[in-house]
Amino acid sequence: MKEKEKAEIKRLSDQLDALNHKDVQVIQQGNPELIAQHSKEKEKLATEIERLKNVRTEKLSGEAQKLQKLPFSREITKKEQADMGALKKSVRGLVVVHPMTALGREMA
């Protein structure tokens, strides 16, 4: 269940990283127009990454609030944890949130 925001953030971060590695080459060329264009692209990517991170945080926050409004919640036992497939089949609509996932950290 990979979110499209997460994939897009990764793609843009990779592009930004590639631009950061090209910094030395661009500066050595000494072309002011090329340097300006390069820094403008880096700034554009950084703002887009920040926007997508905010969108992702808002989504997680909304989902966490929705789950916290559910009428019942408890920790699962070791026995239930050992056989998650049977647990999910026996309890329809069960939502299990691990505390180390992004959603789990948001809820904590």
Please give the helix or strand (H or E) that residue 50 lies within, else none. helix 32-68
Span 39-68, pLDDT tens digits: 999 999 999 999 999 999 999 999 999 989
Domain boundaries, the chain: 1-69, 72-107
Alpha-carbon dihedral 92, 96, 102, 108, rounded to 10 degrees? 120
Instruction: Encode 46-61: b = buried (16+ Cβ within 10 Å), e = exposed.
Output: eeebeebeeebeeebe
Q: What is the pLDDT of residues 18-46, one digit of tens each?
A: 999 998 888 888 888 988 999 999 999 99
Tokens describing residue 15: 């592009």
Q: What integer pLDDT is reported at residue 8 of this predicted model?
A: 95
Instruction: Choose among 59, 64, 56: nearest CA to 103.
Output: 64
